[in-house]
Amino acid sequence: MPLQPPEAARPYRTVTVEPRSDGVVVMSFFVPDHGQNVLTSQAVSELAAALDSLETGPVPTAVVVRSTREGSFFAGADMARLERLHEATPAEIEGLCAAGRHIFSRLSSQPWPSVAIIDGLCLGGGLELALACDVRIATDASHTSLGFPEVKLGLLPGWGGTVRLARLIGPGAAVELAAAGETVDGPTAARLGLVDACVPPDQALASACRLAEITSARQSHLERRRQQAGPVTLVAEERDFLEAMSAAVILGRSGGQYPAPLAILETILAGAAMTADEAATREAAAFATLAKSDVSRQLIRVFRLGERNRRDKGLDGQGLDEGSPTTGSDSRPTDRLEAADPPARDRPAVIGAGIMGAGIAASHLRAGFAVTLVDVQADTLAASVAGILDEAAWDRGTKRTDPARAVALSGRLHTATRMAAIAECDLVIESVLERADIKRQVLVEIERTVGPATVIATNTSTNPIAKLAEPLQDPTRFCGIHFFNPVRRMTLVEVIRGPATSDATVATAVAHVKRLGKCPIVVRDSPGFLVNRVLMPYLHESVEMLREGIEAKRIDRVARGFGMPMGPLELYDMIGLDTAFYAGLVLSAAYGDRIEASPLIPALVKSGRLGRKTGAGFYKYGTGGQRSRIDRPDEGVAALIRPYALPARETTDATICDRLLLPMLLEALRVLDEGIVRDGRDIDLAVIHALGFPAFRGGLLAWGNTLGAAEVVRRLAPLADLGIRMHPTPRLLAMAAAGTPFTA
C-alpha cells in the first residue's frame, strides 16, 4: 500500500508532496509570481509544513527535494526580505537566522535520508537548502550553477551555509568559494565534493530515488551526520597558512573596502574549530553585523538597480517603479511599445574590423549569434579573425581561450569586403573610424543596402547622433549603440536616442544589447552622452592638480583609496592620451566654461607619450608583455608641465578627493537637469559598470546621498576660486535648502 501522508492533499502554493510506492517521498517546489524559485516566506513556511506532514504520517524511506521550475532549483533568498533586515536589530536578525537554519536542519534530523536534485540555479539560500540535505545530485546541464553570491551583497550565508560547506569540502575550498562569490557547474561541484553525483537531467529523478534507497538501506547518512556535527580537523600550521594566504588574496581583491570576504574567512576558520551548532551561532552573529552595514545596504541597492535595468525596455512610462516618477524625462511624443517585446534580431552585422568592431563581433559570437563582419580593407579583415575567435572563445574559469570552442565558433563568423553581404541582416552596427564624414558615408551605404525594417546603429563615443542621421532617408530607425573598450570586459552599453529615433528602434536596441549579456542605459543625444561627460571632470581635475605641483602618484593613490579601480592619470594612460585629447576637444567645445581642454594633453601627445600603448604617458611602463605594469612616473613629464604650471595650493588628501569627485557629482546633476537620462538611478548603474565607481558606495548619486546636499555645498565653498566647475548648481542649492536626496 503506497504511503499517504495526512497532509498530502493540503493545497500548498509552492510545494507538492508526492509519495511513491517504493516509500520515497518527492517534494517538488515551484514558487509562483517570480521568474526563478526564490526562498520567500511562504516557500520556507510551506517547507516546514510539508516536513510536519512527513513527521506525523507514515515514515518514508527517504525524501527527495527538487524543483519543477526549469532552470531553477532555488536562486536564493527573496530580496525584499534581505532589504528589510536593515530595519531589524542584530538580535532579531540572529533570531531569523536561527529559525531558518532550524527548518533546513529538519531535512537531516529524521531517521530517513534526504536527497536534493540540483538542476538549474542553486544559489545562496538555495545552496544552503541543498547542503542541509544528506545527499546531493547535480545535473550536467549548462544552466546548472551552484554558489554563494551573498558576498556580492555584502553578506555571508546565514542559514548554516558556512558551517556545512566547510565540513563538506574543507575550510580552504569553502573560503575560496564563498569569499569570491563565484559559481561552479555540476561537474565541477562533483569534483569539489559539493555534490555526490552529476548526471544528465533526464536521469536525475531516477538516480536520486535509487541513491536514496541505497543510502537508506546502508544507513550511511547517519555516520555522515555525526562527522559533520563536530569540529573540522585542521592543524595549527595549516590554519595559520590558510588564514594568511586567504587574507592576502582577499585584501588584494577588495582593497579592504568590503568587509564580507574577510568576515567569511574569519567565520569559516573560527567555526571549523567548534561544533556545528556553535559555529552556526557564530555565523548568525557575523551575518547580523554585515546585514546592518552601510556597505550591504548599498550593494543590495545596486543589485536592485540591476534588476530594474533587466525589466527596462528603454522607454518612458513603463511602470518600473509604481508611483515613482522618473527624473529628467524627455517630454516629446513617442510611439512607445508598452505591451509587447520587440521582434528579436537574429541576423546582426558589424561594419569595421578595427579594435571596437572586432570586439563587438566577438561579443555576438559569445552570445550565440552568427554575425557578418564587413571591412573594405581585406588585410584588416583577415588580421582580425584570429583575435575575434580567441576573444569569443575566452574561458573565464581557465582564463585562456578554449581552442575547440574557437574552432566551433569560426563557422558562425562570416566576413566580407563588400556591403552587399549585409543585405539580409536585420540589425547593423557601424564601427568605423571616429570621423563624422566617414561614418555618414558608411551609414548612407548601409541604408541603401539593407531592408526597410533593419535597425541601423553607430558605435560612437563622441559624434552626435543627430549629425550622423542627417543624410539618412529614415532616421527613425537609427540610434547609437556605444560599447566600451574592452568590449568583453565592459558590461555597460549606452543606447543613444537621437531626435528622430523611434521608440521601436530604442526598444529593439535595448533588447538586443541584453541578449549580448550587457547592461544597456538609454541616454539622449548630447556631447559626451552620459559616461564620458561625467568622467571628463574627474580626468580634467587630475591634470589641473598635476599642473599645481601635486604628484601623480599621490593623486592616483587618493582616488584608489576612495575605491576607484585606478587613478585618473593611470586611466588617462590606459585610454590613450591621443584618444582622450580628441574626446576632450568635443567636450570642451560643448562645456568649455567648466571643462577646458588642457594644454598639457596635446603637449604629451606631441612628445610621443600616448600612454600604455607606447610605453610612456604620465607613467613609464614595462616592455613587451609587461606593458600593463607601471614601472615609474615619467620624469620627462615634469619638463612638459613647466610651461603650463599653475600656482601651488596647500592641499590635503581629503581635498584631492573632493576635487576629483565633486565635479563629477555636479555634472551628474546637470545631466538630470537636461533630461539626458530618464532616472538618476541610471547614472549610478552606468558609473559602476563603465567607470568602476565603487559599488559599495552605491554609485555617484548614492554617494552624494551619504554626504547630503548641504555638506556638498559646504565642501565646494573653499574651492570656489577654481572656477565655475566648483560652483553649486541651482538644483544642488535647492536640494540643500529642502534637504532632498540626490536619488532614490
Which residue numbers are catalytic? 482
Q: From CA 285, how far away is CA 267, in angstroms rounded? A: 10
Q: Is 358 exposed, middle or buried (0-12, 13-18, 19+ CB in 10 A)?
A: buried
- The widest CA-to-CA distance across the chain, in whole angstroms, is 96
324 contacts: CB under 8 Å, gap ≥ 6: 744
Q: From CA 571, how far away is CA 485, in angstroms rounded? A: 12
Helix, strand or coil for residue 558?
helix
Q: How far is CA 720 from CA 541, 715, 717, in A?
A: 14, 10, 5
Does residue 255 contact residue 694 with C-beta atoms inside 8 Å?
A: no
Helix, strand or coil for residue 671?
helix
Rounded to the nearest 5°, which phi and psi values hold at 521? -120, 125
Angle of helix 161-169 versus helix 276-291 axis, rounded to 10: 130
Closest Cα partner for 23 from 215, 238, 249?
215
Per-residue HEC secondary structure of 71-125 comes to CEEECCECHHHHHHHHHCCHHHHHHHHHHHHHHHHHHHCCCCCEEEEECCEEECH
Q: From CA 411, how far away is CA 434, in angstroms rounded? A: 30
> 387: phi > 0 → left, psi -120 to 50 → alpha, else beta; which?
alpha
Q: How far is CA 545 from CA 122, 647, 668, in A?
A: 49, 10, 22
Does residue 356 contact residue 365 with C-beta atoms inside 8 Å?
A: no
Starting at the earlier edge strand, list the strands of the sheet with 427-430: 413-416, 371-374, 348-351, 427-430, 455-458, 478-483, 492-497, 519-524
- Displacement of CA 606 from its chain's centroid (Å): 38
